[in-house]
Structure 1
């Protein structure tokens, strides 16, 4: 699984001067006199609190100093400002209340985008992707985007679960939190953080860091470990948790061979 931000590169610690912080909307708008992009308007950027740095398509917030470039078609400056720098008071003040892609708010609209989903080579099912908030971006092979938080994910592997990947890469998504709850997100993040540090020697002495023993060394994908924890709601000994994860993986593989199989309900994260 790879993840793609709407802004692949950003710097969130740039320094703003006192003069910049005092700039009005008109002052900020005047900095865009040589703005190069036609698909992102200077007006929308200035209203979102940005000034143009005159370096490529780089802009900077006059309050938090966040610098962004590599804008893509469809990006919404106010939403992006809030999503990537949620602590910025200006971003919170100007943020729109609507979701990132209002046209994809309904499940049926998201599901309809999967007409050309590469089912033969991608194991994730359109109904599961749409349920998790994602719609398909046909021009990008297997890239999907959340209608609410705007997160883009691509290069799905066989064991990736849409809800779990959503929680790994955008835990603050309001749609995710509404549907799955904070506890689910916290558990996913705990596994994800352990995974990133699994080769750290000190963690191998931590009894609760069962991901170290499982993920690479025993070949159990974190998706199934998380599903096992979610399903049984208690801590297992290593061998018990591995057994439960492997049982869930086997059942999900059966479901993939027969999409009408009811076992999927038993294997889904509650």
Structure 2
């Protein structure tokens, strides 16, 4: 599965992550627990879910804007880090608590969330295409001794 397909599958499951409790459950293996600002509770409140990789155990991703952050330090404030890197994230700008949203509010948020997904996947596909063009171009130049 390509990274774009991976992203789509993960992001489509993120519709359940409006719930603080569900986001919090993703932090079961989070490396920061006590005596720090980036506890699982603070991370989940800031809209993050834990998305670790083999090389990066502290990757957190906003379920809404898909901003991934890693390299967390104990004194990092998740809300501030999220605002600093994604000041226009609709989750951060929500004025209504998820439990108090109307169906119309939710529909508008989901519409925006899906727009973000489509844009991100489109950018990933374009980048993948560019990399393929560059690789093929290098191979052709080598093949025809054009370098």
TM-score, scaled relative to structure 1: 0.30
Shift in Å at residue 168 of structure 1?
0.9
* Pair 1:141-2:141 in alignment: no
Partner of 1:150: 66
- Bigger share in helix: 2
* Pair 1:160-2:89 in alignment: no
How do 1:98-109 and structure 2 match up within 5 A? 101-109=14-22
Query: Quick check: which has more Rg, 1 or 2?
Result: 1
Does the 8 A contact of 1:145 with 1:152 survive in 2? Answer: yes
* Pair 1:177-2:93 in alignment: yes
How do 1:23-62 and structure 2 match up within 5 A? 39-40=1-2
Shift in Å at residue 73 of structure 1?
5.1
Q: Which runs of 5+ in 2 are unaligned?
A: 96-147
* Pair 1:126-2:58 in alignment: no
Shift in Å at residue 158 of structure 1?
2.7
Shift in Å at residue 103 of structure 1?
2.8
**Pairs aligned (count):** 91
SS in 2 for 1:115: coil
* Pair 1:114-2:30 in alignment: no
Alignment RMSD, CA only? 2.8
Shift in Å at residue 114 of structure 1?
1.1
SS in 2 for 1:145: strand
**1:77-109 CA distance string (max 9 Å, x none):** xx9xxxxxxxxxxxxxxxxxxx88213221111
Q: Distance in 2 between matches of 1:73 and 1:117?
A: 25
Q: Call closer, same or farther: CA 1:142–1:73 in 2, change over 3 Å.
A: farther
Shift in Å at residue 159 of structure 1?
2.4
Question: Greater relative contact order (Cα 8 A, min sep 6): structure 1 or 2?
Answer: 2
Q: Which runs of 5+ in 1 are unaligned?
A: 1-38, 41-70, 80-98, 180-270
How do 1:15-94 and structure 2 match up within 5 A? 39-40=1-2, 71-72=3-4, 74-76=6-8
Does the 8 A contact of 1:143 with 1:154 survive in 2? Answer: yes
**Divergent runs of 4+, >4 A:** none
TM-score, scaled relative to structure 2: 0.53
Q: Distance in 2 between matches of 1:178 and 1:101?
A: 17
